[in-house]
Structure 1
Amino acid sequence: MKVKICGITDADTALAAVNYGADAIGFVFAESKRKVELEKAKEIIAKLPSEVLKVGVFVNETVEEIEKIANYTGLTHIQLHGDEAASISEKLTLPVIKAASIESNDTLEEIKNYPCEYLLLDGPKGKYRGGNGTAFNWKNINLDRLKEKKIILAGGLNPDNVEEAIQTIQPEMVDVSSGVETDGKKDLQKIKKFIEKAKGSLTRRISI
């Protein structure tokens, strides 16, 4: 099971997450309490191993600005977390992760044909487009509608529920931000526990 730790703003946390087994690190360039400055993102990305995905999170940004930021900082993937049309994704030169706030199966129908490498299924919208710590009902959606897509599961995940989430949805990757924070800051012990639970869940599911 792949794991993405999102909302990273400092190198020590990024490197610790990678050391614990994170496969992707997310950097928020949209309005958020976790927004990272371009210089800082570039500095962190330069220290990360080449095989780790470096994901930039954008909300309703222009293609030109996304490409500019991606090139400057060294991103490998673009996460579109707003109301971006399919044409935006098609114009980007890097692989795209399209996030969608899941309300019902109707949402799945709306996004199933979106051109992207991954579909990220997130919880309901809050103050910000992501990182609100709210899960959707995993058991009430029909993922057969997305069987041609690679799924990233996000929204309300934490070390205590990530195993159940993986067993229910069976995504390619899980994505966490607020669920590994304490008092609004990334908590290394929670990150470690989350990754351990996520990485171990598939083995346990197969052995049952």
Structure 2
Amino acid sequence: MADTRIKICGLQDVEVLKSMKSLPLDYIGLIFAPSRRRVSAETAARLTAELQDWESGAVPDAVGVFVNPELAELAAVLETVPLKVVQLHGEESPQRCSEVRQAFPRVQVWKALSVAGHGGNGAGSIQALLESYAGTVDALLLDTYDPQGSGGTGRTFDWEQIPLYQQAAADYALPLFIAGGLHPDNVNELVAGYAPYGVDVSSGVETGGSKDIMKMTAFVERVKQS
């Protein structure tokens, strides 16, 4: 599924971003929530400035990742950083997502949902969950449940649950991204088996905690070849 969208998240370094300009990416993710990959608004502004002369295809959209943000925090970041997407990665309710969407109509709002381990949720509960977010967000992202935080575990969830989420997402015309433990050696299987709308990777393309251009290149190539 060559049309699967690709998001590489957790960018922090301008020189690393410069090395990525030949990659056909759709989104780059900038983390503003507590994380070792967190960036300041000033650093994020320098990073997004580098997107304008992207060498491969269209300019990637900048996605800002937040956890339970106040509207004032979002406003302060958006004043400095030209984000195209605000990704909410905490416990934000549908009502809260709707408030963010109404407050900042120029950006898309995505909501990350945590998926538990094997066994997971039934079709009925998944349908009800996605129905609750329909009309309040522009896309959903599935990530591995982490009792200690808000994603970024580097672990996959039970992919057999993906079709249930995909069916429910299709019912409400919601694009569905898959995250959680993806890396160059498993993304081909994911894309070939489930044809997700998009994939999101961070730690899986790092070496020693830093983005690795060889791993990022391999990841993109394997998505495109699937």
What TM-score do the two structures reach when normalised by structure 1? 0.90
Counterpart residue identity of residue 165, structure 1? L
- For the 8 Å contact 1:31–1:128, the answer to whether it is kept is no
Secondary structure, counterpart of 1:33 in structure 2: coil
Aligned equivalent of 2:11: 8
Please list every run of at least 4 consecutive aligned residues from structure 1 whose deviation after the TM superposition is greater than 4 angstroms.
none
Aligned equivalent of 1:96: 109
Deviation at 1:125, TM superposition (A): 1.1
- Correspondence 1:135 to 2:135: no
Deviation at 1:97, TM superposition (A): 1.1
Once the two structures are aligned, what percentage of the paired residues are identical? Answer: 36
Counterpart residue identity of residue 86, structure 1? P
Alignment length (residue pairs): 201
Gaps of 5+ in 1: 202-208
Aligned equivalent of 2:206: 181
- Correspondence 1:109 to 2:109: no
| Coordinate RMSD, CA, aligned | 1.7
Deviation at 1:126, TM superposition (A): 5.2
Gaps of 5+ in 2: 53-57
From the superposition, tell whether residues 128 and 182 of structure 1 become closer, same or farther in structure 2 (CA, over 3 Å).
farther
Deviation at 1:100, TM superposition (A): 0.8
Deviation at 1:72, TM superposition (A): 1.2
Secondary structure, counterpart of 1:120 in structure 2: strand
Deviation at 1:152, TM superposition (A): 0.7
Aligned equivalent of 1:159: 184
Q: Which moved more, 1:191-200 or 1:162-171?
A: 162-171
Match of 1:125 among 146, 150, 160: 146
Deviation at 1:66, TM superposition (A): 1.1
- For the 8 Å contact 1:166–1:198, the answer to whether it is kept is yes
Aligned equivalent of 2:55: none
Secondary structure, counterpart of 1:48 in structure 2: helix
Deviation at 1:12, TM superposition (A): 2.1
- For the 8 Å contact 1:124–1:134, the answer to whether it is kept is no
- Correspondence 1:172 to 2:197: yes
From the superposition, tell whether residues 128 and 33 of structure 1 become closer, same or farther in structure 2 (CA, over 3 Å).
farther
Match of 1:83 among 91, 109, 116: 91
CA distance in 2, matches of 1:117, 1:17: 27
Counterpart residue identity of residue 83, structure 2? L
CA distance in 2, matches of 1:133, 1:101: 13
CA distance in 2, matches of 1:16, 1:128: 30
Secondary structure, counterpart of 1:9 in structure 2: coil
Q: Which moved more, 1:103-112 or 1:68-77?
A: 103-112
Partner deviation per Cα, 1:41-83 (whole Å, 9 max, x = no partner): 1111112137311000000111221122122111110000000
Partner deviation per Cα, 1:154-199 (whole Å, 9 max, x = no partner): 0010000001111233211110000001111111100010011111
Aligned equivalent of 2:43: 40
